[in-house]
Amino acid sequence: MHNRRIYHGFNGFRLFVKKDFSKAMSFGSRLAEERKRLGLRQAEFADLVGTDVPKQSLYENDRRDLRADYLARLAEAEVDVLYVLTGERSTGQWLSSEASELLSACLALRPEVRTALLAFVKTVGGREQSAFTAPTLHAPSPGYRAGTPREG
């Protein structure tokens, strides 16, 4: 944080006012923080995400906008893209490609078919309802259902 003292003088008295002039972290500084969290130098990170050092420097100094293809490469490099964009850390675990494919196929089904499929899977797997209610990265809360507005 950068603190600066401002001196106000009136009637022969000097008044000291402490003001905080720091600004919120930008996406560039969060991107640099993520790179450091991964233990990589800028050149190593640039190579990992398919860019060059000058462009990576521009990203980290907020002088180049983040593009969708770059964000996708960041995600592949295990960068917390949600944190880079919003300042809030992701929670939960990433789904495997197989689980992601299964979830996508399930969500494409009509609601009554999904309900029947879930009942079938519970019966075959011998699991109780509670085993299927843990939050994951795709479901921020146990009660979340696709197509319904999120609370918050």
- Residue range 23-40, pLDDT digits in tens: 568 999 999 999 998 899
27-86: CATH superfamily: lambda repressor-like DNA-binding domains (1.10.260.40)
pLDDT per position as a tens digit, 89-138:
887 666 677 877 888 888 888 889 988 988 888 888 765 555 555 555 55
Angle at 149 between CA 92 and CA 134, to 5 degrees: 30
**What are the sequence ranges of the domains in the chain?**
27-86, 92-147
* Distance in angstroms (rounded) separating the CA atoms of residues 117 and 27: 41
